[in-house]
Structure 1
Amino acid sequence: MKRVVITGASSGLGAALAHSFYEQGYNVLLIGRNEDRLKTIATTCEGDWVCADVTKSEALVNEVIERFGKFDVWVNNAGMAEFDFVTDQSTDVMEETMRVNAVAPMLLSRDAANVIERGGVIVNICSQAGKVPTPKSAVYAGSKAALLQFSNALRLELKPRGIHVMTVNPGPIATPFFDRADKSGTYADSVQGIMLDPKRLADAIVKGVRKRKREINAPWWMNVGANVYAICPNMFEMLAKRGFEKK
């Protein structure tokens, strides 16, 4: 039975991924900071769990190997944000955002790549924000853009070894992520109608892993917008001005 390791698995997309992988016959190992939630989800998925902060666990991959043996898929899902103007953001929040969203998954990807066997997959949960930055998400967008380009380069490096790297670039997802990211609640309310269902996205991610897709983009029309933005940024920013200002 194949084993998948999922960070940020105590709620939201991570919890949904645990159930989706379990439904497809994977042995599930959950990593997160909330021990009670991890235990509950692990019970429903007949899986194991490790209570850890990804930004403070430099030996996390080795711990997983020593305690539970080899794994076939590693999913870097843990992430955070606080939407605000750059001039109003504290140094602590900016550094935490980069550590959680970029540095930690880079280090974990490196360590996973050193032990995962041929045929294995590393999945990095990035964001459409990494392709199309918007006001009040500059630091978040920067962290996700860094992870996206890191993953694209890592894919090329690991291809000769038979290890695949897949990125996931979602738009807003209906998860507790916004409890911290959008404290005013105005942005979450404004995009309620287009929020992705975490379980449907999780199912698509598992399918993508099995087919070794390069990336998953959801919703599809946001990725179309990202492609237009890459070609005609000035025009796109002018046309999408109202959407950019929702935060």
Structure 2
Amino acid sequence: MRLKGRHVVITGASGGIGEQIAYEAARQGAVPVLLARNVERLKEISARIKAQYGVSAPHMELDVSDREMVEAVFSQLLKELGGIDVLVNNAGFGVFRYIEDIDLAEMEAMFAVNVFGVIACTKSVYSHMKERGSGHIINIASQAGKIATPKSSVYSATKHAVIGFTDSLRLEASRFGVFVTAVNPGPVETRFFDLADETGDYVRNVSRWMLRPEAVAKRVVAVMMTPTREVNMPGWMDVGSRLYRLAPGLVEKVAKRAFFQK
């Protein structure tokens, strides 16, 4: 009953982790609000949620990199819903390239979506949550934000930024009863890699360790409206990132071959 009737707004809800969060939130009685650029896909997911769980799932088009659009969409949502209980900043993408091959336009796009989009969406709901004295902002970051590996320099930089933003926001928001959580999954079996890993080499190398989006979604929904600092998956990768903070040189030396799996 913790989530019964709660409005859970999810960016990047047209597939992958975002789609699965919507299903799991609906299963637990919440009202998932679906935001993404692919409106047709959102319609399909909304209809499926209604059919399977008997829960309405409002949906709207949103490009999180368009600041004017972000402001307009969230203003409309707050007006129509009367309140937003949980915001899941899930929209994001990555492209894996060595530094000499990085396209600067891709770099700007990654920061626009992965970082500036997260901040813009958060800012659109934070004052509302602060005034209510309750709410939860969940930012989907990545283990790449804790351990940067070859070919992921820009993507890792964006996720480092998300973790830094989340840590600062958590301290600020705690004064007003608003929870803030960072979710740091390792590689997840989604279409993310259709773009990030065009050759398919990385997916082939790490397929046995990849997380299912349903598993990540269950963990995310399980911590909604609770004062959870971080969700780190899988456990062994979390241990690795902790060791990395303690002895980065040693970890880089021992795990160098694994780091070049991309």
Coarse TM-score class (shorter-chain normalised): over 0.9
Over the residues paired in the alignment, what is the CA RMSD in angstroms? 1.0
Alpha-carbon shift at residue 58 of structure 1 (Å):
3.4
Matched, 1:71 2:81: no
Task: Look up the SS of the partner of 2:92 in the other structure.
Answer: coil
> CA–CA distance in 2 between the matches of 1:99 and 1:222?
27
CA distance in 1, matches of 2:95, 2:196: 4
Q: CA deviation at 1:205?
A: 0.8
**Counterpart amino acid of 1:95?**
E
Q: What is the match of residue 231 of structure 1?
A: 246
> Quick one: which of 31, 48, 51 aligns to 2:61?
51
Corresponding residue to 1:104 among 83, 105, 117: 117
1:34 corresponding residue in structure 2: 38
Instruction: Look up the match of 1:9.
Output: 13
Counterparts of 2:188 and 2:201, CA distance in 1:
15
2:191 is aligned, of 176, 187, 195, to 176
Q: Single out whichever of 108-117 and 187-196 deviates more from structure 2.
A: 108-117
| Alignment partners' CA distance in 2, 1:9 and 1:152 | 24
What are the residue-to-residue correspondences of 1:177-192 with 2, within 5 Å? Answer: 177-192=192-207
* Equivalent in the alignment of 2:25: 21
Distance 2:21 2:91 in 1: 12
State the partner residue of 2:220.
205
Pick which of 102-111 and 153-162 moved more.
Answer: 102-111
Cα distance in 2, alignment partners of residues 223 and 118 from structure 1: 32
Q: Partners in 1 of 2:83 and 2:47 — Cα distance? A: 21
Write out aligned runs for 1:108-123 (5 A): 108-116=121-129, 117-123=132-138
Q: Is 1:216 aligned to residue 226 of structure 2?
A: no
1:90 maps to 103
Q: Identity, % of aligned pairs?
A: 38
Q: Where do 5+ consecutive residues of structure 1 fail to align?
A: none
Does the CA-based 8 Å contact 2:63-2:70 persist in structure 1?
no
Aligned to 1:124: 139
Could you give the per-residue CA deviations for residues 94-125 of structure 1, whole angstroms, max 9, x where no partner exists?
A: 00111111111012112211112322100000
* Distance apart, 1:17 and its partner CA: 0.3
Shift in Å, 1:69: 2.6
Letter of the 1:115 partner, please give it: H
| TM-score, normalised relative to structure 2 | 0.92
Give the aligned residue type for 2:212.
Answer: D
AA aligned to 1:154 is L
Deviates more, 1:53-62 or 1:143-152: 53-62
Other-structure match for 1:244: 259
Shift of 1:211: 3.2
What CA deviation, in whole Å up to 9, does each residue of 1:151-210 have, x standing for no partner? 000000011110010110000000000000000000011111011011111011111124
TM-score (norm 1): 0.97
2:71 pairs with 1:61: no
Mapped partners of 1:45, 1:214: distance in 2 = 29
Contact 2:10 2:18 (8 Å CA) reproduced: yes
Q: How many residues align?
A: 247
Distance 1:118 1:189 in 2: 46
- Correspondence for 2:152 among 112, 134, 137: 137
Quick check: 2:136–2:225 contact (8 Å CA) kept in 1? no
